[in-house]
Amino acid sequence: MSLTIVEAREAADRLGEFDSVIDARSPGEFAEDYLPGALNWPVLDDGERRLVGTLYKQVSALHARKVGAALVARNVARHIEQAVSDKPREWRPLVYCWRGGQRSGSLAWFLSQIGFRTSQLAGGYKAFRNLVREDLERLPETFGFHVLAGRTGSGKTRLLQALRQQGAQVLDLEALACHRGSVLGGLPGQPQPPQKRFDTLLWQALRALDPARPVFVESESQKVGSVRVPDALILRMREHGRCTVVEMSEAARVELLLQEYGFFAADTERFCRLIDGLVELRGHETVQRWQRMARAGAWAEVFAEMMREHYDPLYLRSMDRNFRHLAQAPSLAVRDGGEASMQDAARELLQAS
């Protein structure tokens, strides 16, 4: 028998040493966020958790514990039958629940009784969440960020990908957020993560970076779709980031947007519903004109107009406000959004860095 209580910082630093990380919370809690690589072995599902909570409030703590204990015992037995039979004696799981209490304690105790070298996370997910929040305040100041600025459709995200392929360190906030950062930025079939999940993914990404090397990142707004980039990271990028302005001709930008947002041609009404959100900024007449153009299939024309009349002015105002030294930043000309152009631009940028 072996059961060890592990503090959150130690667990985070040793995650790779555990053979499995097991989240004993309900599926609903797990969906909101979880430790990197965690598996969900709920000792109470969402309905059972609500039932026990209701009994605790409306009947008595003792009755709730009796019912809860029977449910937990059955669920733990099922997990052991389904997922433990193939585990060797040396298997080392880390188990946690919301606050490191009875749910993870019950599962961890059974696993330790079998003979596995089991660890339980002190303070549970709540302690891990506090650690993530602390690190997201602390980590950004350890990095030197090279910020890619540029108007909508200038290929900043593709350039980040080319930089990564050539060995550069990249922080792709839009990829972590599953969103391109505008009213049209939602990715088909890819819902955005909840805020807590985004924070954990960002925490993982930052911990994987080397502070001794530059980190390339795209100039982003504080919000990327529905998730918010931590203040410390935004401040570090804006106040201390080294900017490069990515430039591309309007024709090439329109072509890139047609490639990136071509899926709207199959769902024009979704596009029209989304740009309804621009009425306050651009007025009914302008938005309705763009909707008519989209319904007529004039995608190149509508994207060109939206760039000139909405996205470019908005972006330039934002950049002037948030990046005080942008006027002195060097520029990087990119021919088009093709792979060869992006690789050439990445090489040029790395040579100049």
pLDDT digits (tens, 9 = 90+) for 196-207: 999 999 999 999
The answer to whether residues 221 and 321 touch, using CB atoms and an 8 Å cutoff, is no
- For residues 39 and 117, the answer to whether their CB atoms sit within 8 Å is no
**Residues forming a β-bridge with 119:** 4, 94
For residue 7, CA distances in Å to 11, 125, 127, 130 come to 6, 11, 8, 12
CB proximity list for 220: less than 8 A, separation 6 or greater: 173, 174, 181, 229, 234, 237
φ, ψ for residue 123, nearest 5 deg: 80, -5
CB 79 within 8 A of CB 41: yes
The tens place of each residue's pLDDT in the chain, 353 residues long, gives 689 999 999 999 999 999 999 999 999 999 999 999 999 999 999 999 999 999 989 999 999 999 999 999 999 999 999 999 999 999 999 999 999 999 999 999 999 999 999 999 999 999 999 999 999 999 999 999 999 999 999 999 999 999 999 999 999 999 999 999 888 999 888 999 999 999 999 999 999 999 999 999 999 889 999 999 999 999 999 999 999 999 999 999 999 999 999 999 999 999 999 999 999 989 999 999 999 999 999 999 999 999 999 999 988 888 888 887 787 899 999 999 999 999 999 999 999 88
CB 144 within 8 A of CB 327: no
Q: How many CB atoms lie within 10 A of CB 3?
A: 16
Cα 46 from chain centroid (whole Å): 24
Q: What residues have CB less than 8 Å from 61, skipping those under 6 apart? A: none
Catalytic residues: 97
300-350 tens-digit pLDDT: 999 999 999 999 998 888 888 888 778 789 999 999 999 999 999 999 999
Quick one: pLDDT at residue 1? Answer: 61
User: What pLDDT sits at residue 130?
Assistant: 98
Phi-psi region at 100: left, alpha or beta (left = phi > 0; alpha = psi -120 to 50): left
Q: How much is the pTM? A: 0.94
**CA–CA dist 83, 95 (Å, integer):** 14
pLDDT reported for residue 56: 87
pLDDT at 273: 95
User: Would you give the DSSP letter of residue 310?
Assistant: I
